[in-house]
């Protein structure tokens, strides 16, 4: 149950606590219109944001291991962590992925509640049933 709750944790993206993203953190990079045009040949046309882990930072760019991209129509495409060098001038804002404790507790409570209901529903049907005399169906041989 603890493993399921840990896997089902809810995450949100919030503004960074630091001036620049730190290596190893999961971030969302919201692109400027010019940044979307600049990165189109690497990530596709009309992409408005990139999500992934920060692989490296340097003065003029941040390299992300991209896990998903979002386009202008709101469609999300999932990636496998391919590295993309993102110029800082192309980024409007960085946000950091963080665990939402309140949402995670609520989801965990819902999972626990539904597990208890399922257990109670199947407990009598699997082990508590009574066979009729003469076996299944009650017929005599």
CA dihedral 95, 101, 102, 107 (to 10 degrees): 110
Q: Determine the Cα–Cα distance for residues 3 and 112; give it in Å rounded to an integer.
A: 12
Say if residues 86 and 66 touch (Cβ distance below 8 Å): no
CATH class for domain 9-99?
mainly beta
**CA gap 58, 133 in Å, rounded:** 79
pLDDT tens for each residue of the chain, 141 residues long: 555 545 556 777 788 877 789 999 999 999 999 999 999 999 999 999 999 999 999 989 999 999 999 999 999 999 999 999 999 999 999 999 777 555 555 556 566 666 666 667 777 655 555 555 665 555 555
Residue 7 bridge partners (DSSP)? none
> What is the phi/psi pair of residue 37, to 5°?
-65, -40
């Amino acid at each position: 149950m603890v493993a399921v709750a840990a896997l089902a944790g809810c995450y949100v993206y919030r503004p960074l606590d630091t001036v620049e993203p730190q290596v190893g953190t999961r971030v969302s990079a919201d692109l400027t219109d010019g940044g979307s045009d600049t990165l189109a040949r690497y990530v596709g046309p009309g992409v408005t944001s990139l999500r992934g882990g920060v692989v490296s930072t340097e003065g003029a760019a941040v390299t992300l291991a991209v896990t998903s991209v979002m386009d202008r129509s709101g469609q999300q495409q999932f990636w496998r962590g391919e590295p993309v060098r993102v110029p800082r001038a192309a980024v409007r804002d960085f946000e950091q992925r963080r665990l939402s404790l309140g949402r995670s507790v609520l989801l965990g409570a819902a999972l626990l509640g539904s597990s208890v209901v399922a257990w109670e529903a199947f407990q009598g049907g699997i082990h508590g049933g009574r066979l009729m005399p003469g076996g299944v169906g009650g017929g005599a041989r």
